[in-house]
Amino acid sequence: GLVLTGGGDIHPKFYGKEDAMQLVHDVNESRDEFEFAVIKQALNNRLPILGICRGMQVFNVALGGTVIPDVRSAGYQNHGKEKGTAVDPRHDVRLEQGTVLHAIASSSQGEVNTNHHQAVDRLGQELKPTAWSVDGLVEGLEWENPQAKSYLQLVQWHPERMADFQNPLSQGLVERF
């Protein structure tokens, strides 16, 4: 399987927003290009994929989608840590019924950690949203039609570092992958 991890921002040139360079941080074009190639190979080989935070965003861009370069400047709430804070803030998410994520959580809502300043904007091809934050940001994606496709779960939060690992949006997500 393939785990796409968190990290720095995706270069805006890859999603058609070159004028947003002043809004992004820790850009690494080589990493972007490498992950696009890895995603293509994983899809060709039908590997199961779990995308975490940046991993969700880069997968979305790889399939032709875009990201919001900075959620605060776009009018959304702060989804990141305040400077000097060690613990991720948390917020509620609403889960779409009938999705794999909903089945994993056995619920239509949950609470997750958050530490990001970018978010999915326009969806990539064949993807559908599975979770939203209270302020309307997409927090989860999966295949629109998963038949004949490999397992795919993309989330904006960090299940690997949630303090309450028994939370189904943490442990359940990791175990299902």
Q: H helices of 45-152, where?
A: 54-62, 100-105
Q: What is the pLDDT of residues 57-94, one digit of tens each?
A: 999 999 999 999 999 999 988 888 877 777 888 999 99
Q: Is the pLDDT of residue 34 over 80?
A: yes
Residue 108 to residue 94: CA distance in whole angstroms: 6
Q: For 173, which DSSP code?
A: H
Q: Where do we find the tokens 């702060």?
A: 78
Catalytic residue IDs: 53, 158, 160
CA dist., res. 146 & res. 48, Å (int): 12
Of 160, 151, 155, give the one whose Cα is nearest residue 133. 155
- Cα 20 versus chain centre, distance: 20
pTM to 2 decimal places: 0.96
> Given CA atoms 92, 59, 20, 86 in this order, what sign does their dihedral have?
positive
Chain segment 92-150, per-residue pLDDT in tens: 999 999 999 999 999 999 999 998 999 999 999 999 999 999 999 999 999 999 998 99
Q: Which of 128, 133, 134 is nearest to 153 (CA)?
A: 128
- Residue 119: both structure tokens together: 């978010």
Residue 177 pLDDT? 96
pLDDT at 144: 97
